[in-house]
Structure 1
Amino acid sequence: MKEYLVTAAQMKQYDKNTIDIHRIPSLLLMERAALVTVEAIQNVLGKEPKRVVVVAGGGNNGGDGLAVGRLLLLAGYQVDFILLSAPERCTEETKRQLAILQSYKARIFGRMEEITYDMDIVIDAVFGVGLSRPLEGLYARAVSWINTQDAYVCSIDIPSGIQADTGEIAGCAVEADLTVTYGFYKLGQMLYPGAGYCGRLVCGQMGIDENSFLGQKPLWYTYHGIQKGLLPKRAPDGNKGTFGKALVIAGSKQTCGAAMLAAKSTFSAGAGMVKVVTAAENRDAVLQYVPEAMLLTYDTENIEEKWDNSHGSDFRTLFQESLSWADCILIGPGIGLETMARCLLKSCIEDSHLPLVIDADGLHLLAVDKELQASMTEKNRQRKMILTPHLGEFARLYGCETAECKRHLTEYPRLLAQKLGCTVICKDARTVVASADSETCYLNTTGNAGMAAAGSGDVLAGLVTGLLAQGITSEEAAISGVYLHGLAGDMTAEELTQEAMTAGDIISQIPSAIRTCLREEQGPGWRRLC
């Protein structure tokens, strides 16, 4: 299912549009938010009444928390409230919720120390998505108090202390067991470290939906659950040539595994034919691991002479013929940084207009060759091109430190894509896909820490190439490849554990991931991201 991811400013505007344009009162939205929160809590913990403490700030997030507590109180729960703000400094909606509570004779305290009993549930309603400064003083102490309770913690909209746009921690943050967010998921709930503080994350509809965009759609989206429509249509009367011919340029004398993994993954994505260009030393190993592949090998001795046509280079002639044969190209996994690798990359960029995926060593070579970058932008604006850097490779390409890139994960990939006229897959715990000609960006939420292993990037590069070979756009191939790669990784972890899984294991689960996506999507229910 496609899910929009919004910023704090966007959510504030959509809330305003709902109230001002669609004329749904703010208090009604607050009541509906409280209802879906209580439903989410009871879905997890059951309906048996428990002891609850609501810790509320003076903003509308606090008002949401007061409303949740009131509904639980009326359902028979024992509920006490801690209001961290002076009543006169609360928002108007929160003042109204406070007055309602007072009419029910609810117990409202001003300090955590006044709660002297053990509770079962703590409702975190200190700060919502509007937080713009580090937590300190009373609010920092409230977060610490919540985190030290031996109770189930439910955060309202977002854990207090998490920046809604970046996922960064504003000094300290609540470690929630359950976060109930409203309308749309927030970027900061998907990005780390914030994603790790949300616990179970559910999104409840309380009246703010796509009708509140009023033409201003969010830039970001993700897929979760089982996503249909990601795979190219397969003609029932097709043949091996119909489903794409991929040229995989991978593996140097010391890195045979990269060629093996990339080629195998390309086939697993549905490509009809794969030819591997690799060092001669890799021939036997590649053919044993991927017997379906064709091979073109080169001798690693006297490389300059073997590439120079003036010396009657048989290999260069054969390579040019391979470029003419193929429907798309992957270059980079394990090719090294020597002369042959540079020659191959230069030829792929300057001598061909085929769809091109550049990965690993190819990205390193590209980063240090400004002329080659200029050639990409001048000659290939209409060409399908995908770059697949991890954060370190991205930093070299963009010209910044890795830490800076990580801080600007939702900005820099799009800027680089626009600069080079391509699609960028920036790989991290949350992988970003940005395309030069697209009005949206994709944030991937499949996958797990077990995929941070040698060869995993080669598998992704091959998967994307296999999809691209079948004629879909570079953006479609990148997004589908990243999603399926992560889904296969999740299936692998489920079977083998994150600790024990390898890149080859991920390839073995690609068919299961594809099969799952081809099944009918599950029925409606709570939308959940973990």
Structure 2
Amino acid sequence: MNKCVLSASGSGHPVVCWLLTAAEMKRCDSNTSEIFGVPSVVLMERAALSCVDVIVSRQKKLEEQAGQLGLHPKRRVLIAAGGGNNGADGIAIGRLLLQEGYDVSFYLASGEEKASELLKLQLHTAKAYGAVICDTIPDGEYDIIVDALFGIGLCRPAEGIYREAIEWINAQDAFVLAVDLPSGIETDTGAVLGCAVRADVTVTFGFWKRGLLFYPGCKYTGKVICTQIGITEDGFLNQTPEAFTFTAPVAELLPARPEDGNKGTFGKVLLLAGSEAMAGAAILCGRSAFYAGSGMVKLSCPTLIHPVIQTALPEAMTADSVEASARWADVIGAGPGLSLSDRARKELLFVLQQTLQPLVLDADAINLIAKDEALLQELIEHQQNPATRRKLILTPHPGELARLEGCAIEEILKQPVFYAKKWANRLQAAVLCKGARSIAASPDGSIYINRSGNSGMAVAGSGDVLTGIVTALLSTIDDPFWALCIGVYLHGLAGDLAAHTKGEYSMTSNDIAEAVWAVLVKQEKNYV
């Protein structure tokens, strides 16, 4: 993990939320018990208590509301447990609810002979308190169902009695709490393995799991509550997880602006963007660069569209070619609305071969490189050589990344983390795979998974806005990966603000750009 990720916030707000794979969580869990001596059964009891707290708190609110109407909500609970330690969590939850006076039924799908050692211990304790363990789902109606069939270890489709149990749970009119992860969701990818429980609340332990964020898994989780049960960052043993997302306000992630700065201090951005048919892309990109803090913006684009750009964005300068302005720039962004014309290719070729400034490649810049094998290989060779390597960011959507890879877009959609990491390593660059959960990868293997944003951002020009933001940030932030992560986060927050005012159906990319400044002002007021 890049050191800047760990030290960006000085205000006490957490900077990142770690997003663990199944293997990372198991290792951390094991270290907590084996290295630090916290017994697994203690961790399990705390996990069960955290789930019980959620159920009891909800029930009290229901009873208070119902009491005002003379009603009396029932407390009928079903614990649906599997044969592993997730099932043991479920049995412990049921035992604690039983002690709280709830009417609890227990269903053990695996049978006791296949139970893990911790599950056998929990079964013994539950029986001592009067629990009756059933090997079929007891007949009756339930107000609350605890899904503890599978934990983080599931790697194949749920079948047989497990599939039947999941489908039965989904058919009930009950409040469903999933323990750690809804059964049927793959921990690392969020994939649905055959079928999955649709939870109202998921209580996850210690740290978030990647599958709770990725689609389609995140559509099954309901509200996610991450509770601390004693598995802390100490359990990483200095081997930090690969993936994270932001929790700090975006204003705290940005570098401070010196009070004695000038327009040159805050970054001179050169954008190779726009064409005769797509002047709007250049305008959106340039406007967003200004809103993200750039002091000066120059657009290299065909002379024919200069009047359009100067009218829509009078703060920006224009140039007929990138060659005339290359030395002027602190950072270069290329691609939005560029087209695949001979002029565009010539300009991009000059940027790649004759400039050394930090560079952001998007859209048609990526498409031009993908269709020119010689150009692609030259870029790879330059980036693999420390003597010629430049600071580089790529921001493709899955289609553009598929063109680079030479594969079907479906392959990228199946494994976005894999391909983002592959190209980050291959180009020694920060690489983004855009999507509902955009994924940024660094050459050292770190992964940022973005949570901000909404469906209204799936609109023409949204990527142009992102390129402007990221290019502006790269002019004042030394680490390309950090600049990319913050840029994606800010872009999504601006999209969320735009959706709040315009609605996801009606918002445009210009609304996103216009919201960038408002996000920063709002966060400054809240946190500075």
The alignment's TM-score, normalised by the length of structure 1, stands at: 0.91
8 Å Cα contact 2:420/2:439 also seen in 1: yes
* Structure 1 stretch displaced more, 34-43 or 77-86: 34-43
Secondary structure (helix, strand or coil) at the match of 1:153 reads: strand
**CA displacement, residues 297-321 of structure 1 (integer Å, 9 cap, x when unaligned):** 4xxxxxxxxxxxxxxxxx5xxx323
Relative to 1, partners in 2 of residues 1:92 and 1:227: Cα closer, same or farther, differing over 3 Å? farther
CA distance in 2, matches of 1:179, 1:519: 33
Match of 2:89 among 59, 64, 70: 64
Secondary structure (helix, strand or coil) at the match of 1:472 reads: coil
Match of 1:211 among 205, 212, 234: 234
Q: Which runs of 5+ in 1 are unaligned?
A: 298-314, 523-530
**CA displacement, residues 314-337 of structure 1 (integer Å, 9 cap, x when unaligned):** x5xxx3231111111111101100
Alignment of 1:329-340 (within 5 A): 329-340=332-343
CA distance in 2, matches of 1:521, 1:60: 41
- What's 2:254 paired with? 231
8 Å Cα contact 2:251/2:520 also seen in 1: no
Identity over the aligned pairs, expressed in percent? 45
Relative to 1, partners in 2 of residues 1:184 and 1:269: Cα closer, same or farther, differing over 3 Å? same
Shift of 1:23: 1.2
* Structure 1 stretch displaced more, 280-289 or 168-177: 280-289
Relative to 1, partners in 2 of residues 1:63 and 1:209: Cα closer, same or farther, differing over 3 Å? same
- What's 2:33 paired with? 19
- What's 2:53 paired with? 39
Letter in 2 for 1:115: D
- What's 1:306 paired with? none
**CA displacement, residues 200-225 of structure 1 (integer Å, 9 cap, x when unaligned):** 11111111111111232211111136
Secondary structure (helix, strand or coil) at the match of 2:77 reads: strand
- What's 1:52 paired with? 77
CA RMSD of aligned residues (A): 1.7
Task: Confirm whether residue 275 of structure 1 aligns to residue 308 of structure 2.
Answer: no
8 Å Cα contact 1:373/1:420 also seen in 2: no
- What's 1:527 paired with? none
- What's 2:18 paired with? 4
Secondary structure (helix, strand or coil) at the match of 1:259 reads: helix
Match of 2:428 among 421, 424, 449: 421
8 Å Cα contact 1:224/1:446 also seen in 2: no
Letter in 1 for 2:139: I
Shift of 1:40: 3.0
Secondary structure (helix, strand or coil) at the match of 2:323 reads: helix
Secondary structure (helix, strand or coil) at the match of 1:122 reads: strand
- What's 1:97 paired with? 122
Secondary structure (helix, strand or coil) at the match of 1:320 reads: coil
8 Å Cα contact 2:16/2:248 also seen in 1: no
CA distance in 2, matches of 1:60, 1:147: 22
Shift of 1:513: 2.1
- What's 1:195 paired with? 218
8 Å Cα contact 2:335/2:363 also seen in 1: yes
8 Å Cα contact 1:224/1:445 also seen in 2: no
**CA displacement, residues 492-526 of structure 1 (integer Å, 9 cap, x when unaligned):** 2222221111111111111122234445669xxxx
CA distance in 2, matches of 1:107, 1:88: 16
Shift of 1:434: 1.1
The alignment's TM-score, normalised by the length of structure 2, stands at: 0.91
Shift of 1:88: 2.1
CA distance in 2, matches of 1:172, 1:58: 18
**CA displacement, residues 365-397 of structure 1 (integer Å, 9 cap, x when unaligned):** 011122222332333543111111000000111
- What's 1:364 paired with? 367
Relative to 1, partners in 2 of residues 1:455 and 1:141: Cα closer, same or farther, differing over 3 Å? same
**CA displacement, residues 166-211 of structure 1 (integer Å, 9 cap, x when unaligned):** 1111110001111111111111111111111111111111111111
Relative to 1, partners in 2 of residues 1:471 and 1:103: Cα closer, same or farther, differing over 3 Å? closer
8 Å Cα contact 2:284/2:468 also seen in 1: yes
Secondary structure (helix, strand or coil) at the match of 1:23 reads: coil
Relative to 1, partners in 2 of residues 1:387 and 1:43: Cα closer, same or farther, differing over 3 Å? farther
* Structure 1 stretch displaced more, 84-93 or 48-57: 48-57
Task: Confirm whether residue 513 of structure 1 aligns to residue 516 of structure 2.
Answer: no
* Structure 1 stretch displaced more, 122-131 or 505-514: 505-514
8 Å Cα contact 1:232/1:467 also seen in 2: no
* Structure 1 stretch displaced more, 473-482 or 41-50: 41-50
Task: Confirm whether residue 158 of structure 1 aligns to residue 181 of structure 2.
Answer: yes
CA distance in 2, matches of 1:44, 1:3: 26
**CA displacement, residues 219-244 of structure 1 (integer Å, 9 cap, x when unaligned):** 11111363553212201000111101
* Structure 1 stretch displaced more, 88-97 or 368-377: 368-377
Match of 2:163 among 94, 115, 140: 140
- How many residues end up aligned between the 2 structures? 499
CA distance in 2, matches of 1:206, 1:11: 13
Shift of 1:10: 1.5
Shift of 1:453: 0.8
8 Å Cα contact 2:157/2:194 also seen in 1: yes
Secondary structure (helix, strand or coil) at the match of 1:321 reads: coil
Secondary structure (helix, strand or coil) at the match of 2:380 reads: helix
8 Å Cα contact 1:230/1:476 also seen in 2: no
CA distance in 2, matches of 1:496, 1:83: 49
Relative to 1, partners in 2 of residues 1:50 and 1:360: Cα closer, same or farther, differing over 3 Å? same
Letter in 2 for 1:389: P
- What's 1:250 paired with? 273
Task: Confirm whether residue 379 of structure 1 aligns to residue 393 of structure 2.
Answer: no
Shift of 1:421: 2.0
CA distance in 2, matches of 1:494, 1:45: 32
CA distance in 1, matches of 2:133, 2:249: 44
**CA displacement, residues 333-385 of structure 1 (integer Å, 9 cap, x when unaligned):** 01100100000100111110011111101110011122222332333543111
8 Å Cα contact 1:249/1:276 also seen in 2: yes
CA distance in 2, matches of 1:321, 1:132: 56
Task: Confirm whether residue 284 of structure 1 aligns to residue 307 of structure 2.
Answer: yes
